[in-house]
Chain A
Amino acid sequence: MLKVEIYRYNPDTDKAPYMKTYEFDTQGKDLMVLDVLEQLKAQDESLAYRRSCREGVCGSDGMNINGKNGLACIKPLSECVKNNKLILRPLPGLPVIRDLVVDMTQFYDQYKKIEPYLQNDTPAPAIERLQSPEDREKLDGLYECILCACCSTACPSFWWNPDKFIGPAGLLQAYRFLADSRDLATEKRLSNLDDPFSVFRCHGIQACVAVCPKGLNPTRAIGHIRNMLLQSAT
């Protein structure tokens, strides 16, 4: 029997968070963590977590799985269970609403700051703004982010300054628009980032890279932003 420990907290009834242990029979199958949660919820309806697509696209079920952030729906037990134990906690650093559900407001506020939309005031062409295949290629490794928050909530700089540091997810998206040949707001975007917190709180420890369920590299994108800031200011 697999031992599953889950962080439980209901602010209406609990004075403090606690870990609840469940016994779970995998029947020898290598299930995904979300499958385990679904079956446990069938037994204990009070258990709360977010989920939607169950295939690693919507980014709803980001959580801390045996100490490492990841998406429950695409994390097989064989990759995370140690000593027959599965420990599930909410994403670190964000306020807990209930059980594994966190308040993502701080995360979205930082995302909003980088103005995550194409800015181009020139008259729109009849069909669409075209891009060369080479320019389009520059967006690979950037546009795939699903905003699950696994990276930002694995980042100590984001834990300490979630109101000031944009965080790896936001900065990956900031570079996605800085790198877009169709976007004309480069100077404005860069000047909004040149303070001691927004970008430069990244110390390059790459915790974000280690946990990204989509295999993206926010640290590299942050390095590109630094280089762009350096080139525009020197």
Chain B
Amino acid sequence: MVTSITSFGRSGLYDWLIQRVGAAVMAAYTIFITIYLMTNPELTFEQWHALFGQLWMRVFSLVTLLSFISHAWIGLWAVLTDYLTVRLMGNKATILRIFAQMMLGGVAITYLVWGIEIIWGFN
């Protein structure tokens, strides 16, 4: 058992499941939007506005956004712990990795808040 306190859920299984479920949600959202755009070639602003005015679409969009954020967090954590390691770079790697994770976390939270504002903040 390897201890890790910086991963998303601290359990490999939990992170893996979140990422897989999130991937399915994002795939479903992409397919839905693609089909919607293809079946509405003359799409107007009013139609688009009405689509996002519905509760189910806002929930679907928010769940997709949460899936995207968690997916990115878990994936980038894996990339950082591959390349910024004490084994490869010495002790400075830990500080560098925590800093990089804080930056990525800040970007993720910004996108999340911004996304929520876009989805829920208009009438």
Q: Please determine whether B16 and A226 come into contact, CB atoms closer than 8 angstroms.
A: yes
Q: A6-14, A36-44, A126-134, A197-205: which lies at the B interface? A: A197-205
Bound-state CA distance A152–B20 (Å) is 25
Quick check: is A115 within 8 A (CB to CB) of the other chain?
no
Distance (Å) between the CB of A167 and the closest chain B CB? Answer: 13
Quick check: is A64 within 8 A (CB to CB) of the other chain?
no
Distance (Å) between the CB of A199 and the closest chain B CB? Answer: 6
Q: Please determine whether A161 and B15 come into contact, CB atoms closer than 8 angstroms.
A: no
A116-160 vs B, CB cutoff 8 Å, 1 = contact: the mask equals 000000000000000000000000000000000000000011001
Q: Please determine whether A160 and B82 come into contact, CB atoms closer than 8 angstroms.
A: yes
Q: Which residues of B contact A28 (CB under 8 A)?
A: none
Q: Which residues of B contact A191 (CB under 8 A)?
A: 1
Quick check: is A164 within 8 A (CB to CB) of the other chain?
yes
Q: Please determine whether B83 and A195 come into contact, CB atoms closer than 8 angstroms.
A: no
Q: Please determine whether B13 and A200 come into contact, CB atoms closer than 8 angstroms.
A: yes
Most chain A beta-carbon contacts within 10 A, residue among B4, B12, B15? B12
Bound-state CA distance A71–B81 (Å) is 31
Residue of A nearest to B77 (CB): A196
Quick check: is A163 within 8 A (CB to CB) of the other chain?
yes
Quick check: is B118 within 8 A (CB to CB) of the other chain?
no
Q: Which residues of A contact B16 (CB under 8 A)?
A: 200, 226
Q: Which residues of B contact A160 (CB under 8 A)?
A: 82-83, 85, 88
Q: 8 Å CB contacts to B: which residues of A190-228? A: 191-201, 203, 226
Across the interface, B1 reaches (CB within 8 A) one of A195, A201, A230, A233, namely A195
Quick check: is B107 within 8 A (CB to CB) of the other chain?
no
A160-B82, A191-B1 as given contacts; A196 in contact with B15, CB under 8 Å: yes
A191-B1, A195-B2, A197-B2 as given contacts; A161 in contact with B85, CB under 8 Å: yes
Q: Please determine whether B85 and A195 come into contact, CB atoms closer than 8 angstroms.
A: no
Q: Please determine whether A197 and B4 come into contact, CB atoms closer than 8 angstroms.
A: yes
Quick check: is B17 within 8 A (CB to CB) of the other chain?
yes
Bound-state CA distance A191–B15 (Å) is 15
Distance (Å) between the CB of A158 and the closest chain B CB? Answer: 11
Across the interface, B81 reaches (CB within 8 A) one of A161, A194, A203, A233, namely A161
Q: 8 Å CB contacts to A: which residues of B64-123? A: 77-78, 81-83, 85, 87-88
Quick check: is B3 within 8 A (CB to CB) of the other chain?
yes
Q: Which residues of B contact A96 (CB under 8 A)?
A: none
Q: Please determine whether B82 and A161 come into contact, CB atoms closer than 8 angstroms.
A: yes
Q: 8 Å CB contacts to A: which residues of B1-51? A: 1-4, 7, 10-13, 15-17
Q: Please determine whether A194 and B82 come into contact, CB atoms closer than 8 angstroms.
A: no
Q: Please determine whether B85 and A196 come into contact, CB atoms closer than 8 angstroms.
A: no
Distance (Å) between the CB of B7 and the closest chain A CB? Answer: 4
A residues near B (Cβ < 8 Å) are 156-157, 160-161, 163-164, 191-201, 203, 226, 229-230, 233
Q: Could you name 11 residue pairs across A and B whose Cβ atoms are closer than 8 Å?
A: A156-B82, A160-B83, A161-B85, A191-B1, A193-B12, A195-B11, A196-B11, A196-B15, A196-B77, A230-B13, A230-B17
B residues near A (Cβ < 8 Å) are 1-4, 7, 10-13, 15-17, 77-78, 81-83, 85, 87-88
